[in-house]
Structure 1
Amino acid sequence: MAFTTEEVLSGLAELINDETGIAPEVVALEKSFTDDLDIDSISMTTIVVNAEEKFDVRIPDEEVKNLRTVGDAVEFITKAQV
């Protein structure tokens, strides 16, 4: 099942909230994981693993460092579904 950009953003916001307590409505495409949301590498790893499971995609370790913003992650997950 392919998820829309909005569904991926909403799902990621839920995962980020579960891991960090950050309110889902704060999570937006332009937000930086580290600068705006203050997510550390350990939390990011958990979010990535949970996102892989939720969206049935594989996010290679070497790609994770390229996911600087929520939008980067949403775009990667959306394209990885195809």
Structure 2
Amino acid sequence: MVFEKIKKIIEEQLGIEQNKIMMNTSFKELEMDSLEFFQIIIEIEEQFGLQIEDAEAITTVAEAVKFVEENVDCV
């Protein structure tokens, strides 16, 4: 469920088809600039009601999913 929501956020922000976004996809592979990356981080924070202090430490979709799952009570 978290993975699906994050895929949707990435799709909406970058216009990338969801089927091209896998758990092991790195944000670098998605060829986004830093502004696009931080827009995705902000959207994740808003969607899940959390604060990501060290966004640069999140380098893959899987790391984003893991962060959300570990920091949100009812996912």
TM-score with structure 2 setting the length: 0.90
Q: Stretches of 4+ moved more than 6 A in 1?
A: none
Matched, 1:21 2:15: yes
- How far apart are the structure 2 equivalents of 1:39 and 1:8? 21
> What is the Cα-based RMSD across aligned positions, in Å?
0.9
TM-score for both structures, normalised by structure 1:
0.83
- Total equivalences in the alignment: 73
Residue equivalent to 2:5: 11
Quote the sequence identity (%): 26
Q: 2:39 — aligned with what? A: 46
Alpha-carbon offset, residue 13 of structure 1: 0.7
Unaligned runs of 5+ in 1: 1-6
Q: Which residue is 2:50 aligned to?
A: 57
Distance 1:22 1:58 in 2: 25
